[in-house]
Amino acid sequence: MLRGLFPAGFSAEHLGPNDYYYWDDFWGVAGLRAAAWMLGELGEMRLSDLFYNEARDFMKCIDESITAVAELTASEIMPASPNRRADSGAVGSLAVGYPLSLWESNNSRLLATASYLFNNCIINNAFYHDISHSGINPYLTIHIAEVFLRAGDKRFWSLVNGIANLATQTGQWPEAIHPQLKTGCMGDGQHVWAAAEWIVILRNSFVREEFDTRTLVLCSGIHNDMLKSGSKISCGPVSTPFGRIELEINSRNNIVRVNWKGTWHNGLEPVIKIAFPEKEVVDVVPGITEHTFSINENTV
């Protein structure tokens, strides 16, 4: 189960003692793929192919390891390491879905792991990490929420609200929060990683990208609670791999209108989808920059 994986190490330090962490392996694959892409952009196609092939072979080793673990445990839940049972450290293995997007959003192993964490490790609508941190962890809560957001799973909303409710008066979060006192219990008092994840999930709620399919998904985190009549919310300009986009959402009398304006690299418009929670996903016709719908229709 260890063949081809990175050596044991402390990894991100919040997963436990030295071990063969899938978190490290997934980041390794992402690094190889990023290098391959950059080399391709520079015209170094031979080296680009070399790095892509290394990434493919590395991912094959990871898949073989995870498959062996699944056969041993009779479960699709990915532990933090092939040497571990399912525990809260499994949150590290979600990196394959967020932020790396190496697997499809509906991958069964990815969602089984996120569901395990949601069903077993949530206190006050936030992720309680009982390894190392021993507290509610804001940034890892958002990692779980991002996996659900990407999958169109409405469970993301309770986690986003949970973290919002735990913010300090200065709009910050400790690295770990005491589940009863709601104050910091470990690490930084104002944790920059947590603040950054909050900004990212707000941005992704308006616009997020699926790089491999050249797709921008709009509004997938804009819940009905945010669409009060007479309201206007906006985001942008936001930089994406495909160019910049500005987005505005207006709601009046249960009618929602979404407008966007993109400035695309080399004039190449990406695929655009509108994906409000609990609504049918809409594939936008190229060149169209507006979408209107009723809050009460097409609920799924």
Alpha carbon distance 98, 260 (integer Å): 25
Q: Are residues 145 and 226 in the same domain?
A: no
Please measure the distance between the N-terminal and C-terminal CA atoms of the chain and give it in whole angstroms. Answer: 40
CB 140 within 8 A of CB 127: yes
- Residue 21, classed as helix, strand or coil, is coil
- Distances from the Cα of 68 to the Cα of 53, 59, 65, 85, 178, angstroms: 23, 14, 5, 13, 36
Tell me: pLDDT of 298 over 70.
no
- What's the pLDDT at 13? 80
| H helix intervals, the chain | 22-41, 45-73, 108-120, 138-151, 156-165, 192-206
Distance CA 266, CA 243 (A): 9
Question: Is residue 256 within 8 Å of residue 295, measured between CB atoms?
Answer: yes
Q: State which of 149, 175, 205 marks the end of a domain.
A: 205
pLDDT the model gives residue 300: 47
pLDDT over 90 percentage in the chain: 88
205, 238, 273 - which closes a domain: 205
> Per-residue pLDDT tens for 253-282?
889 999 999 999 999 999 999 999 988 999
Three-state secondary structure readout of 191-242? CHHHHHHHHHHHHHHHEEEEHHHCEEEECCCCCHHHCCCCCEEEEEEEEECC
Q: Following CA atoms 96, 100, 101, 107 in sequence, which dihedral angle do they give, to the nearest 10 degrees?
A: 10
Domain endpoint, select from 58, 74, 104? 104
Question: Same domain for 241 and 222?
Answer: yes
Q: Could you read off the pLDDT of 83-137 as tens digits, one per residue?
A: 999 999 999 999 999 999 999 999 999 999 999 999 999 999 999 999 988 899 9
Q: 3 and 100 share a domain?
A: yes
pLDDT at 225 (0 to 100) = 86
Same domain, 199 and 245: no
Closest CA to 79 of 122, 150, 20, 149: 20
Q: What is the pLDDT of residue 12?
A: 82
Q: Indicate whether 252 and 161 sit together in one domain.
A: no
Domain of residue 76: give its range. 1-104
Each residue of 37-52: pLDDT tens digit?
Answer: 999 999 999 999 999 9
Which residues pair with residue 252 across a beta bridge? 255
Question: pLDDT at residue 296 above 80?
Answer: no
Q: Does 261 reside within a domain?
A: yes
pLDDT of residue 196: 97
Residues 9 and 72 in one domain: yes
Q: What is the pLDDT of residue 278?
A: 81
| Domain assignment present for 113 | no
Beta bridge partners of 234: 248
Q: Look at residue 90 and tell me if it is in a domain.
A: yes
116, part of any domain: no
pLDDT band at 299 (very low <50, low <70, confident <90, very high): low
Question: Is 119:92 a contact under the CB 8 Å cutoff?
Answer: no
Residue at 300 is within a domain: no
With beta carbons less than 8 A apart as the criterion, state whether 299 and 280 touch: no
Give exposure, 86-113, as e/b (b: 16+ Cβ within 10 Å): bbbbbbbbbbbbbbbbbbebebebbbbb
Structural domain count, the chain: 3
pLDDT digits (tens, 9 = 90+) for 47-68: 999 999 999 999 999 999 999 9
